């Protein structure tokens, strides 16, 4: 029995994750591979939310009155930053992570070294979170460059993106642990990501929805992310930031535990 399998037998499949410094070489390996195709992956992660920001913000925005007292493009900027972080984390922790797990068998190779499964899982989450932060920061730079917002409070967005990235990445890796093939991810994108994007306040205030949907939308992890980031784009601090931070942190913690447990169960079969 391999060393990581003995660790799982001792801790149990549903035991708390115990990642260590073994995350570092996994992160380095992913970075070295990514560096070879960095340009294409950056374009893929950034272009969709950036096009939505520019086309809808300036195109549709020119036909709309201001929302919450600000131009529509400024209102949309916060949603675009969060949406970019969501898409980058989700694609990396689903299609790319599943390819390393199931197609390339990179996980098998790493688990034949002294690395533990928890190290590999946690490194995948951190790597996807780094890709998520890169996408969010790229859109933030566009917001500053086009003078959509240059508020001093924008400096708080990068720390917020770290929490957003870990949360979205851990949720997506849960899907990778359950997937039998790439087609499975369409369920998550159709039933999870798309409702989050359209119901969480990216394109319009959540308050415009029927009350039942407003309450449901507040449970989606993208909603507290936007509630945290939008005031920063508008030049003010969130009224109750710890509520959003706590919701995102709890979601991330549960998702990390669940992703680790499901990966243990999958690889021990």
Q: Is 174 exposed, middle or buried (0-12, 13-18, 19+ CB in 10 A)?
A: buried
Is the pLDDT score of 60 beyond 80?
Answer: no
Tokens of 142: 């566009």
Is the pLDDT score of 264 beyond 80?
Answer: yes
Tokens of 12: 């149990």
C-alpha 139: how far from its chain's center?
Answer: 15
Is the pLDDT score of 3 beyond 80?
Answer: no
Is the pLDDT score of 237 beyond 80?
Answer: yes
Tokens of 14: 């549903």
The reported pLDDT for the residue numbered 13 is 83
The reported pLDDT for the residue numbered 66 is 76
Say what the pTM is.
Answer: 0.91
Query: What is the Cα–Cα distance from 249 to 141, expressed in whole angstroms?
Result: 26
The reported pLDDT for the residue numbered 4 is 67
C-alpha 24: how far from its chain's center?
Answer: 20
Neighbours of 79 (CB within 10 A): 26
Q: How many independent structural domains does the chain possess? A: 1
Provide mean pLDDT across the span 229-254: 94
Query: What is the Cα–Cα distance from 60 to 249, expressed in whole angstroms?
Result: 34
Is the pLDDT score of 1 beyond 60?
Answer: no
Query: What is the Cα–Cα distance from 120 to 126, expressed in whole angstroms?
Result: 10
Tokens of 49: 């939310």
Tokens 């942190």 found at: 249
The reported pLDDT for the residue numbered 257 is 96
Provide mean pLDDT across the span 186-206: 91
The reported pLDDT for the residue numbered 45 is 62
Q: Is 70 helix (H, G, I), strand (E, B) or coil?
A: strand
Tokens of 200: 């969480």
Is the pLDDT score of 115 beyond 80?
Answer: yes
In DSSP terms, 188 is beta-bridged to none
pLDDT per position as a tens digit, 202-215: 888 888 888 888 88
Neighbours of 145 (CB within 10 A): 9
Tokens 């020119």 found at: 62
The reported pLDDT for the residue numbered 249 is 97
Pick from 55-64, 79-88, 246-255: least confident: 55-64
Provide mean pLDDT across the span 99-118: 90
pLDDT per position as a tens digit, 129-167: 999 999 899 889 889 988 889 999 999 999 999 999 999
Is the pLDDT score of 44 beyond 70?
Answer: no
Can you give the residue range of the structural domain that contains 47? 3-13+21-268
């Amino acid at each position: 029995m391999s060393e990581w399998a003995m660790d799982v037998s001792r801790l149990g499949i549903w035991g708390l994750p115990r990642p260590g410094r073994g995350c570092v070489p996994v992160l380095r390996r992913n970075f070295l591979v990514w560096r070879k195709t960095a340009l294409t992956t950056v374009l893929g992660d950034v272009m969709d939310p950036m096009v939505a920001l520019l086309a809808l913000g300036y195109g549709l925005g020119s036909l709309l009155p201001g929302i919450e007292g600000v131009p529509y493009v400024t209102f949309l900027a916060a949603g675009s930053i969060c949406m970019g972080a969501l898409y980058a984390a989700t694609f990396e922790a689903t299609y790319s992570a599943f390819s390393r797990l199931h197609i390339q068998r990179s996980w098998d190779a790493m688990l034949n070294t002294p690395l533990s499964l928890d190290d590999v899982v946690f490194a995948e989450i951190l790597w996807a979170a780094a890709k998520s932060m890169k996408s969010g920061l790229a859109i933030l730079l566009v917001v500053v460059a086009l003078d959509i917002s240059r508020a001093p409070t924008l400096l708080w967005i990068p720390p917020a993106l770290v929490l957003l990235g870990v949360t979205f990445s851990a949720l997506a890796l849960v899907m990778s642990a359950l997937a039998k093939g790439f087609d499975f991810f369409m369920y998550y994108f159709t039933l999870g990501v798309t409702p989050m994007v359209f119901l969480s306040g990216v394109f319009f205030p959540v308050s415009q929805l029927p009350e039942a949907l407003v309450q449901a939308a507040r449970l989606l992890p993208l909603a507290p992310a936007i509630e945290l980031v939008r005031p920063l784009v508008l030049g003010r601090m969130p009224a109750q930031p710890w509520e959003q931070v706590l919701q995102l942190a709890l979601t991330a913690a549960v998702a990390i535990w669940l992703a680790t447990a499901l990966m243990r169960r999958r690889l021990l079969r």
